Amino acid sequence: MKVAVISDIHGNLLALEAVLEDLKDVSPDMIVNLGDCVSGPLWPEETATILRETDWPTVRGNHDRFLLEDPFEKMGPTDAFAAERLSSDNLDWLRTTRATIHLSGDIFLCHGTPDDDNRYLTEKVEGPKGHLPDEEALLADIGTERSPVICCGHTHIPRVIHLSATGQTILNPGSVGLPSYEDDHPHKHKMEVGSPHARYAVMTKVGEDWNFQERILSYDWDAASREADKNGRPGWARALKHGFYGPLS
Ligand SMILES: [Fe+2]
């Protein structure tokens, strides 16, 4: 059994196309999407049109929820850009996403933590940057969820974390479409993976255990960066081009 885990596409059509091309080689049995599909100053409608035609089990990310549920005037520019451009068919598809998914006896999918799509599981933010949480904090955040593999996104930083206390593994595949960003929740900070590549993960069951592989793909990030610039988002343009955010605004 081979499962491709993608997350945080954020409307980056060019990065998604690189992933789709790579998936032809990987040939997984199943592809899952951990959410934050379309928000961002890139190609939300085109991205949603591709995703709508897949049968990928898809989790609703915090940004998917914001653009579905928040009044337009309360949205930040990242969600408003997508909300203004999504067709009713693609909005209807986005509404089919679910907060969490138990994929099988082995695999649980969520966006942030199992009970909060807007809380980091695999990063702890102290000061302006994130770092690996300790095991006690991770156990507290997963609560009663006991699936052997917990897949989450939201932080855009790839990690595989093994919890010795329970034998569980947490996989965060990183982000397909946005390698760094700044955010002001819970306070102003930035996440930086340090390269502009599109990322996703592949997990393969071997006997009773899972092996994990990170796929790190080149694509035309200069074109994505130019699109963000053209749409008035210089921070996104910098992040897409370098994988570093640079100084906080
Ligand atoms: Fe998110």
Asked if residue 249 is part of any domain, the answer here is no
Q: What is the pLDDT of residue 7?
A: 99
Asked if residue 195 is part of any domain, the answer here is yes
CA distances from 125 to 43, 122, 178, 236, 246 (A): 29, 10, 18, 21, 17
Q: Which residues surround ligand 1, an ion (CB under 5 A)?
A: 36, 61-62, 154
Alpha-carbon span 199 to 73, nearest angstrom: 32
Alpha-carbon span 71 to 85, nearest angstrom: 15
How many domains does the chain contain in total?
A: 1
Q: What is the pLDDT of residue 248?
A: 78
Q: What is the CATH number of the domain that holds 38?
A: 3.60.21.10
CA 59 centroid distance within chain: 10
Helix (H) or strand (E) holding 114: none
Q: Which residue matches tokens 């569980």?
A: 168
Ranges of residues in the chain with a pLDDT under 50 are none
Asked if residue 77 is part of any domain, the answer here is yes
CA of 206 to the centre of ligand 1 (A): 30
Residue 107 tokens read as 């695999």
CA of 44 to the centre of ligand 1 (A): 15
Over its C-alpha atoms, the chain yields an Rg (Å, rounded) of 17
Alpha-carbon span 72 to 162, nearest angstrom: 40
Asked if residue 209 is part of any domain, the answer here is yes
Residue 130 tokens read as 């994130």
CA of 45 to the centre of ligand 1 (A): 18
Residue 207 tokens read as 């006997």
CA of 234 to the centre of ligand 1 (A): 20
Asked if residue 212 is part of any domain, the answer here is yes
Asked if residue 247 is part of any domain, the answer here is no
Q: Which residue matches tokens 């009044």?
A: 71
Alpha-carbon span 110 to 60, nearest angstrom: 8
Q: Each residue of 145-157: pLDDT tens digit?
A: 999 999 999 999 9
Phi then psi dihedrals of residue 143, to 5 deg: 60, -125
> Domain range for residue 203?
2-242
Q: Strand pairing partners for 126?
A: 129
CA of 22 to the centre of ligand 1 (A): 24
CA of 208 to the centre of ligand 1 (A): 31
Q: Each residue of 44-97: pLDDT tens digit?
A: 999 999 999 999 999 999 999 999 999 999 999 999 999 999 999 999 999 999
